[in-house]
Structure 1
């Protein structure tokens, strides 16, 4: 009978996510992962199979958590207020290992290497764009914003602004909170 692992798989994925988010795919070695996860190589491979497989699990968790946060905001505040609150929330998590988006960092890092994880990051970004599109559609239907622009166009612009905001938040001397407020305020002029 196989021995039951004595670790919490989800907690290990969270720790790996934070390491990958901070250092990127290439900047994280197997030794780094083994140290952070407190696992020996054999246990690591038995639990996750490979660095790529663990990275994909970590990226999936990151994307799922972000989508859930946006969904919770929308349920609590409605579509427009959720879109207005999301930029500030995206940069204000003091526990986050980085301000920049893990998905965009992955896309930029791995596209040049034709790595399949870049495609996976892009798919997650497209799903997030779809979630933004739905919220813009709902805001238009509720009369909270005008119908002059397609919800998909608005979502693409919004996501682009968010990604830029999150990169700016990494820079010294940039008032990212002011930029987040500008994004939020801009939504009332649509």
Structure 2
């Protein structure tokens, strides 16, 4: 299937749970849940199917652990910190996300943003879980925006930004360069600045420039 699978097929058939989850994460990240078979997983990890079932319960169980591992990696939301204005929050969020989804040596795109957008009915539960994870990301972004916006506008802008992040993920998977994606981010930030979004919650204006 790919170099990762071939490499593990020729190596010792030992089992390390932490390594197994990392290998599975990268396969799922690269090919999607339905693009990775049980045989691909066992060959890449170097174990027999009964051992995989004993450790993770199912392919879906391993996928969930892989998602948790991915969620624990450094992400754009972790870089926001204490921003002084709304534009900086948006600009940092987008540019950090672009760095993450185009990191040399890593897979392209975001495993959660573009994961299981379409799938068979047998995997509908997993697809709902991915949607819930995207919803949590949207809520987290909205929370980061609350110092400058009231609840409704923070929620609206958060939904817009998550839509942009999903689009950036797809573009990255399609081969767009980091520079191409930064041009998109620049357009979004320019739009935020032009609208002069301000502090509606406290009834006074705070700069976004």
Residues 32-71 of structure 1: pairs in structure 2 closer than 5 A: 32-65=40-73, 69-71=75-77
- Greater helix content: 1
- 2:160 equivalent to 1:162: no
Q: SS where residue 186 of structure 2 aligns?
A: helix
After TM superposition, give the deviation of residue 152 of structure 1 in Å.
Answer: 0.2
Q: Pairwise CA RMSD of aligned residues?
A: 2.7
1:158–1:133 CA distance, 2 compared to 1 (3 A): same
- 2:104 equivalent to 1:94: yes
Query: How many residues align structurally?
Result: 176
Larger radius of gyration: 2
Partner of residue 91, structure 2: 84
Point out where structure 2 has 5 or more consecutive residues left out of the alignment.
1-13, 198-209
State the TM-score, normalized to the length of structure 1: 0.78
List 4+ stretches of structure 1 deviating above 6 A.
Answer: none
Q: 1:187 aligns with which of 168, 192, 200?
A: 192
Partner of residue 11, structure 2: none
1:71–1:167 CA distance, 2 compared to 1 (3 A): closer
State the TM-score, normalized to the length of structure 2: 0.71
Q: SS where residue 112 of structure 2 aligns?
A: helix
Partner of residue 181, structure 2: 176
